[in-house]
Amino acid sequence: MRDRILIRDLLLRAIIGVNPSERIGVQDVLINIELEVDLRSPGASDDIHDAVNYRTIAKHVVDLVEGSRFSLVEKLATEIASLCLQDRRVELARVRVEKPSALRFARSVGVEIERRRGEP
């Protein structure tokens, strides 16, 4: 399948990290999400009920991230992917989570994961 929904550069704030200084206050977290979805039905019908509502998914991601206290970006990315796969029409979720201030002299550091429906 080649159809995709893209959510780009979602800039949120979360408590994330393993260092004590990272556990006191929120940090910027940059999130990019790519969802593999069959878009033929909504493309033909022009009906929101046939589409994966990316606004709803983004709202759930915001709620998850801003309420989280994970140590690792790997865990945060995994939870975001799981959330995206709750919509049965999403076959694959590719999630990139970056911490813009994690390393001195680097624009950001992050992870990218890919989870497919039905895979562990």
Q: Annotated catalytic sites, by residue? A: 99
CA distances from 15 to 2, 23, 41, 64 (A): 35, 6, 39, 12
Q: Where are the beta strands (DSSP E) in the chain?
A: 4-14, 27-37, 90-99, 109-116
- Name the helix (H) or strand (E) containing 52: none
Structure tokens at 8: 């780009």
